[in-house]
Structure 1
Amino acid sequence: MRKPQVLIGAATSGSGKTTFTLGLLRLLRNKGMKVQPFKCGPDYIDTKHHAMAAGEEAVNLDTFMASAGHVRQIYSRYGTGADACVTEGVMGLFDGYDKMRGSSAEIAGLLGIPVVLVLNAKSTAYSVAPVLHGFKHFYPGIRVVGAIFNFVASESHYAYLRGACEDVGIEALGYIPKDEGIVIPSRHLGLSIDGSCCFDEFANRVAEVIAKTVNVERLLEICTTDFPACGVNGDAERGEMKIAVARDEAFNFMYRENIGALEREGEVVFFSPLHDTVLPEADLIYLPGGYPELFLAELSGNEEMKQALRAYCEAGGRVLAECGGMMYLCESIAGTDGVAYPMVGVLSREATMEPMKLKLGYREVVLNGKAIRGHEFHYSRVKPGTEEVVRVGEVYNAKGGRVDTPVYRYKNVIASYVHFYWGECGMERLLNMALRDSE
């Protein structure tokens, strides 16, 4: 089976990968194609934007959090029914957690996906030739087949860039002109294009621009290649558990394959801590991260949901709470203005957005002698409390150094800033590992 498959890479962050990817996804969707978006790395904000642009849920491909075999399998599983597969890279093409390990290039080589580079052409012209030459020849395990230039000032500017491509032997596929209307604003906390109405307008605008200045048909042609069919465990019998997942405006940072793993473990139902007053009947509850700090008054004011969650946890119900979900289980959350709002109160800790300081990176958590991996990304912090809360596991960064990120346990509740990836091992196994770790 052959189909268009492309990995959108770049020399550096800020080159325009996301802008072009969103426009391409929307353009192909508008053409009536079913396009499956993927994202290299642990980002769960870009995947939301991909899903809105393509009309299909995006899937993370990450070789730190998952094995190579698992990455191949999920690419095959989600891409099989698509007319085309579009993967957005992370950072620069060869940037990984350890040299090239975990990079977009590693994903491209693993899956045999052709690479199209998006290069920032601002203040440069023919000098892109050695850059293109280096990216083409640095690693023979990938195929860089084309280039698209961003922030191009004019047709004459593009002519210099096209000449560089010709001399290097990489096909020039077009350009994105300088246009403030298609520049994604600062995505601090991912807030710039979360509204679906605003986003639809933005995605359509980018699609219209690249339809005029990028040879999309040629891109699809040179990126059409054999699709990697892998054994997919799609017919496995579903478990009998009932699993409740929080999903609304405040809680929505989740990996697609994590939810897929839950769907294989049992029946998944979604509920809203913002809007619902009744907690679904469940054997497991998952509280993912998100933006609770933007809805402090609403979350705090929903007393029925807070009481229901507190009662569930106190009765020994099993819960996994990540980042914003963990903050929601604390006694309170203080916003950037310092005003604290009472929350569920299961964890005797106070979360605060003051002072806002970014903490991020891959994490490996060793629980009961076994490791599970994930990613940490947040601006908030949890204040030390006078009452002790049990901590489980040992936490390391991608280079094996110890980090102080806590994994809390209260009864059968596991809570941490780590966004765990259990798409390969299953959430129940993760919880069992964590609960046994403190026994």
Structure 2
Amino acid sequence: MVMPASVEVKALLVTAMASGQGKTTVTAALARKLARQGKRVRVFKCGPDFIDPMILERASGAPVESLDLWVVGIDACRRLLAQAGAQADVILIEGVMGLYDGTPSSADLARAFGVPVMAVIDVSAMAQTAGALALGLRDYGPVAMAGVTANRVASAGHASMVAASLRDIPLLATLPRQAASLPERHLGLVVPGEVSAIDALLDSLAEQLAFDDAAWDALPPVRLPLETALAAPAPLLAGRTIAVARDAAFLFIYPANLATLEELGATLCFFSPLANQAVPPEADAVYLPGGYPELHAAALSHASAWQASIRAAHAAGLPIVAECGGMMALAESLSDQAGVVWPMAGVMAGTVTMQARLAGLGSQALETAHGPLRGHTFHYSTLSTSLAPAASTVKHPSGAAGEAVYRCGALTASYFHAYFPSNPAAVAALFSAGAP
């Protein structure tokens, strides 16, 4: 039997002129609408992100992975898209920031794979000017513009004015102003588990999204070459058990990171510091991902069993990898948004202070003996410590110094969130001896 060399699938990249236009809301509404029609929908998120994929997974009913030409890599992105295209009727990709923001940008991703773009425009304070925005977004790159979704539309007449302004660009959909929307906090949208009646909200958005089925049907499918599967990495973590913190305080983790650890041969077990659960006794290493320790600082400060167990694990020489929120929970104290100081586990010297403005954002890489380990940073806190950094990440694309990486015994801690598939060998070294 001859296997096909490519797969064809309907695909859209949902973008906007900037953040805050409603990309996630529209993508979630469209994903839920198509899923309710019986279509198999796969959604991806462009750029590094943890929270939007949770919303999109809830909306679509399928796992959401990241696409980024630099962090993930073009070949891996192509492979992920082709795999999804072989299993789904529709692929939706939510862009990051504005269409042309970043290096690489959402526009770069769309052009790399021939995916048409749907621009979300917040028309709450405009009408015909929407056409100028749409034409500019299309022609600046240029990109293949499939159409526009007008968000926060006031009336049918308002929608008609917007549609007339678009000239040769279809108005694919409209979404009215919402009395209730997806709530936000300092790191982005509130995660689905904290939003009451999240499914009712997503269903309501899907019902209110007026979609031009004829224009949708007229969109040609995207052809994606089927790539040969990558060889599995060497089982460098075979026989090792890695304890992974997972709860409302430690929930920022790429699904691909867990998959990479398992591909390396590790057995994963999960525990909740927030529930005062100790590090599992069978653990050979510990992974503390990012999250919201600042929102749960009181509970973490009183979790005596968790604190004692992580100090004991560190004293016993277990490799511990702590990313962003994970590192914050290992400091001596954490000052929350209200300025209240809470004692933390005290595994590493230093105090963490939340602040109102962004302290770090962007793609970065950590140079290791096995080559670069890529990822990103995004945080609103600062760490004051007497520890000298063992290394620093490098910002992309500027090449400037990025986040400090601290090593204390077998602990590796940083604000840097690593994308494990970018360098499995370096990851295996981290969880074996504490230094990649």
What TM-score does the superposition give when structure 1 sets the normalisation length?
0.88
Superposition pairs for residues 395-434 of structure 1, below 5 Å? 395-403=393-401, 405-426=403-424, 428-429=427-428, 431=430
CA deviation map 1:197-229 (0-9, x unaligned): 33223212211101xx22256425515332442
Partner of residue 81, structure 1: 87
d(CA) in 2 for partners of 1:302 and 1:421? 29
The 3-state SS of whatever aligns with 2:132 is: helix
What TM-score does the superposition give when structure 2 sets the normalisation length?
0.88
d(CA) in 2 for partners of 1:217 and 1:268? 47
The one-letter amino acid of 2:286's match is I
CA deviation map 1:104-160 (0-9, x unaligned): 1111112222211111223333333333333333335x4211111112222222222
The 3-state SS of whatever aligns with 1:123 is: coil
- In the superposition, relative to structure 1, how do residues 337 and 171 fare at CA in structure 2: closer, same or farther (>3 Å)? closer
The 3-state SS of whatever aligns with 1:226 is: strand
Partner of residue 135, structure 2: 133
The one-letter amino acid of 1:224's match is P
Superposition pairs for residues 95-106 of structure 1, below 5 Å? 95-96=101-102, 101-106=103-108
Choose 20-29 or 172-181, whichever is displaced more: 172-181
The one-letter amino acid of 2:179's match is E
d(CA) in 2 for partners of 1:375 and 1:153? 38
Deviation at residue 429 of structure 1 after TM alignment: 4.3
Partner of residue 279, structure 1: 279
Deviation at residue 90 of structure 1 after TM alignment: 0.9
1:348 and 2:349 matched: yes
Partner of residue 357, structure 1: 357
The 3-state SS of whatever aligns with 1:74 is: helix
Deviation at residue 276 of structure 1 after TM alignment: 5.3
The 3-state SS of whatever aligns with 2:321 is: strand
CA deviation map 1:278-305 (0-9, x unaligned): 4232333211100111112222222222
The one-letter amino acid of 2:99's match is L
1:316 and 2:317 matched: yes
d(CA) in 1 for partners of 2:276 and 2:220? 46
CA deviation map 1:30-54 (0-9, x unaligned): 2333322111111211111112222
d(CA) in 1 for partners of 2:232 and 2:70? 27
Partner of residue 53, structure 1: 59
Choose 249-258 or 80-89, whichever is displaced more: 80-89
Asked whether the equivalents of residues 119 and 149 of structure 1 are also in contact (C-alpha less than 8 Å), the reply is yes
Deviation at residue 390 of structure 1 after TM alignment: 4.4
Deviation at residue 17 of structure 1 after TM alignment: 1.0
The one-letter amino acid of 1:347's match is M
The one-letter amino acid of 1:190's match is G
1:117 to 116, 119, 131: 119
Choose 266-275 or 288-297, whichever is displaced more: 266-275
Deviation at residue 324 of structure 1 after TM alignment: 0.5
The one-letter amino acid of 1:288's match is P
Partner of residue 258, structure 1: 257
| Alpha-carbon RMSD | 2.6
Deviation at residue 321 of structure 1 after TM alignment: 0.5
CA deviation map 1:249-301 (0-9, x unaligned): 11011112222212211222222112252423233321110011111222222
Unaligned runs of 5+ in 2: 1-6
CA deviation map 1:142-201 (0-9, x unaligned): 421111111222222222222233x3x2222121122333x4444323364542533223
1:2 and 2:3 matched: no
Choose 423-432 or 358-367, whichever is displaced more: 423-432
Superposition pairs for residues 3-402 of structure 1, below 5 Å? 3-96=9-102, 101-140=103-142, 142-165=143-166, 167=167, 169-181=168-180, 183-190=181-188, 192=190, 194=192, 195-210=194-209, 213-216=210-213, 218-219=215-216, 221-222=218-219, 224-233=221-230, 240=238, 241-266=240-265, 267-275=267-275, 277-280=277-280, 281-353=282-354, 355-359=355-359, 360-368=361-369, 370-385=371-386, 389-402=387-400
The 3-state SS of whatever aligns with 1:348 is: coil
Deviation at residue 78 of structure 1 after TM alignment: 4.5
CA deviation map 1:310-357 (0-9, x unaligned): 11122111121101000111122222333332222210112222x433
CA deviation map 1:381-429 (0-9, x unaligned): 11234xxx24222333224353463210011111001111122212634
- In the superposition, relative to structure 1, how do residues 369 and 224 fare at CA in structure 2: closer, same or farther (>3 Å)? closer
- In the superposition, relative to structure 1, how do residues 369 and 423 fare at CA in structure 2: closer, same or farther (>3 Å)? closer
Unaligned runs of 5+ in 1: none
The 3-state SS of whatever aligns with 1:253 is: coil
- In the superposition, relative to structure 1, how do residues 62 and 191 fare at CA in structure 2: closer, same or farther (>3 Å)? closer
- In the superposition, relative to structure 1, how do residues 191 and 129 fare at CA in structure 2: closer, same or farther (>3 Å)? closer
- In the superposition, relative to structure 1, how do residues 422 and 206 fare at CA in structure 2: closer, same or farther (>3 Å)? same
- Equivalent pairs counted in the alignment come to 423
Asked whether the equivalents of residues 372 and 430 of structure 1 are also in contact (C-alpha less than 8 Å), the reply is no
The 3-state SS of whatever aligns with 1:406 is: strand
The 3-state SS of whatever aligns with 2:131 is: helix
Asked whether the equivalents of residues 271 and 277 of structure 2 are also in contact (C-alpha less than 8 Å), the reply is no
Deviation at residue 73 of structure 1 after TM alignment: 2.0
d(CA) in 2 for partners of 1:63 and 1:434? 30
Asked whether the equivalents of residues 373 and 419 of structure 2 are also in contact (C-alpha less than 8 Å), the reply is yes
